[in-house]
Amino acid sequence: MSSSWEMPIRKLSEQIDELQQSLQTNQELEKEQVQGLELARQRLRFLTQAPEAAGIAELPRLLQTVMTQQTIGVIILGQDGKILLFNSVADRIFGHSLADAGSRGIQSGCKLFLEDKKTEYSQDGSLPWDRSVKGEDFPPQQLFVKRPDLPEGLWTSITCTVLKGPTSNVSGVVVLAVDLTEHVKIGEQLNELCGKLETQISNIETAREEIKALADKLGEKRSAEAAATEMTLSPLLRPPSQQVPTPTQEIAISKLALVVDDIPVNQKLLIMHLKKMGFSVESAFNGKDAVEMVEKKDYSLIFMDCDMPIMNGYEATIAIRQAELKTGKHVPIVAMTSYDRVGDRERCLSVGMDEYLTKGVTQKQLQEVVQWCLSRGTGAQEAPESTTKASGEQDQLLDLDNLIKTFGKFELEEILKLFLMSTTTLTSCLQFAIEDHDLESVSHFAYSLKGPCSSIGLTQMAVLAADITKAGEDGLWDQAMSSYKHLRRLYDGIKKQIEDASREFQWVLS
């Protein structure tokens, strides 16, 4: 369902647009604050340089205005560089460094840095107003202030205006400063959020391809290892199997199966089960590829996911059955689906599938279906009751000991990698679908989640995924979101459990 995957990308793009608009507004507000600082500086310069008495008379009123207002910090220094006056805003910016009026400049270890927050404003320790005391105006410049009592520091824009007497000698300096910390922090946070959302878009766009590449690589490695073993040991030298083959394994030996599923972790789990039963297994990620593969090879059994992109399982089954009318062959097709609603099994059988299984079945249930399909597999007949039922209730945490016994540490590591990669993306997509009341996408992502969860024993998460779809179908979107939040809490707990286990078993899951 390409539309389902496009929905979260569109949603994330809209959020990025909103954040960028907020970022632009924040930048405009910051610019206005700096412009206000520059206007105050220009007015101050005009008044101090005006020869008219009226201009000089205006200076005290201007100083009183800037000293009492709450957005611009003001420091007045004498011609010797000593602090004469400062207001509360300047005190907030430079801290207790200004407490001792009459001291020279800023004391108590307060330092100014350039925008990289590492390079000091001046190598010799001089400050902007040190230059102004010598007669040089200092235009607005954004600097980072570090103080002993404020380890995180703050951002400020500083300007210095020289006060000159009748003989043009420097009689003092007025320092104006504004606190830009909130604007800078908000800008950094907005940029960080945009970056995270862009990463999510990238993950959604590439998740299936990356996971498929990993699954293919693992499959090639396993095939290579198996081939090397076959070449190294002759039949007479191979150790006898310690496992007594079941009737199903005897039938399945040397048989070739095809697993068709667009969720790699579902493929991985089913392939492992089938290999334990003696099958050689190939895989496809959509119905179209499966139909083409069936035209070229004879498969003894096909496991077909129903909900896939490009061509779904129903369409692929119909195409395979139409081709078989010419050849007279009949390959058993077993539906593998997360859906377990009334009528789903009948729909699968009606398009030509031989049996129906919900994802997450036990090895025993799978063996029963394989046995039945290979011994009778011509047309849909009534299957053992146990094959159509979901597994029993499980604890909300993974039973790692049992999973290790079933798959081994190496194989389980790969399964959990795939699970984390796919589930993290799918849960985010599911949230967007619920927020948009997009039933088609909710159904797609919820049931894509349900399969992997069922397969590794996370029954509560699987049930919640089904509940979300049911709530959406009934138009109960608040209930769907409530179930989603519960599912997300469970997943966060599972994720932490896997991360803790990765340290215990020295797995590399990131």
In a domain, 286, yes or no: yes
> Which of the two residues, 456 and 239, has the higher pLDDT score?
456
Across the strands, what pairs with 281? 257
Q: Which domain holds residue 428?
A: 399-504
- Shared domain check, 411 and 361: no
Across the strands, what pairs with 178? 157
- Shared domain check, 441 and 317: no
- Residue 384 contacts by C-beta under 8 Å, 6 or more apart in sequence? 368, 369, 372
In a domain, 240, yes or no: no
In a domain, 333, yes or no: yes
- Shared domain check, 427 and 351: no
- Shared domain check, 91 and 158: yes
- The tens digit of pLDDT for each residue in 97-148 reads 565 544 444 545 678 899 888 888 876 767 788 888 888 778 888 999 888 8
Residue 280 contacts residue 222 (beta carbons within 8 Å): no
- Shared domain check, 354 and 435: no
In a domain, 234, yes or no: no
What six digits make up the tokens of 248?
């199903």
Q: What is the pLDDT of residue 300?
A: 92
User: Does residue 372 carry a pLDDT above 60?
Assistant: yes
Cα angle 498, 502, 507; round to 5: 130
What six digits make up the tokens of 487?
């599912």
- The tens digit of pLDDT for each residue in 54-82 reads 445 566 766 676 677 678 888 888 888 88
pTM: 0.50
Q: What is the pLDDT of residue 103?
A: 46
- Shared domain check, 369 and 427: no
DSSP 376-410: H-SS--PPPGGGGS------SS--HHHHHHHH-HH
In a domain, 129, yes or no: yes
Residue 159 contacts residue 38 (beta carbons within 8 Å): yes
CATH label of the domain that carries residue 423: 1.20.120
Residue ending a domain, among 168, 187, 206, is 187
CATH label of the domain that carries residue 102: 3.30.450.20
Beta-strand relationship, 170-179 and 73-78? antiparallel
- Shared domain check, 375 and 279: yes
* Average pLDDT over the chain, rounded to an integer: 76
| C-alpha to C-alpha distance for 382 and 408, rounded to whole angstroms | 35
User: Does residue 285 carry a pLDDT above 50?
Assistant: yes
In a domain, 499, yes or no: yes
- Shared domain check, 179 and 66: yes
- Shared domain check, 154 and 56: yes
What percent of the chain clears pLDDT 90, i.e. is strictly above it? 13
Residue ending a domain, among 155, 187, 219, is 187
Beta-strand relationship, 333-337 and 111-113? unpaired
Burial track 307-327 (b if 16+ CB lie within 10 A, e otherwise): bbbebbbbbbbbbbeeeeeee
| C-alpha to C-alpha distance for 35 and 139, rounded to whole angstroms | 12
CB-neighbour burial class of residue 382 (10 A; exposed 0-12, middle 13-18, buried 19+) = exposed
- Shared domain check, 344 and 416: no
Residue ending a domain, among 187, 213, 237, is 187
User: Does residue 266 carry a pLDDT above 70?
Assistant: yes
Least confident among 203-207, 382-386, 410-414, 453-457: 382-386
- Specify the number of domains making up the chain: 3
Place of tokens 């039963």: 277
Q: What is the mean pLDDT of residues 331-359?
A: 81
Closest among 465, 67, 418 to 268, alpha carbons compared: 418
Across the strands, what pairs with 170? 164
- Shared domain check, 129 and 68: yes
What percent of the chain clears pLDDT 70, i.e. is strictly above it? 74
- Shared domain check, 405 and 366: no
CATH label of the domain that carries residue 347: 3.40.50.2300
Rounded alpha-carbon distances, angstroms, from residue 103 to 77, 150, 386? 10, 21, 88
In a domain, 212, yes or no: no
In a domain, 298, yes or no: yes
* Whole-number CA gyration radius for the chain: 35
Q: How confident is the model at residue 331 (pLDDT cuts 50, 70, 90)?
A: very high
Question: Could you give phi then psi for residue 174, rounded to 5 degrees?
Answer: -110, 120
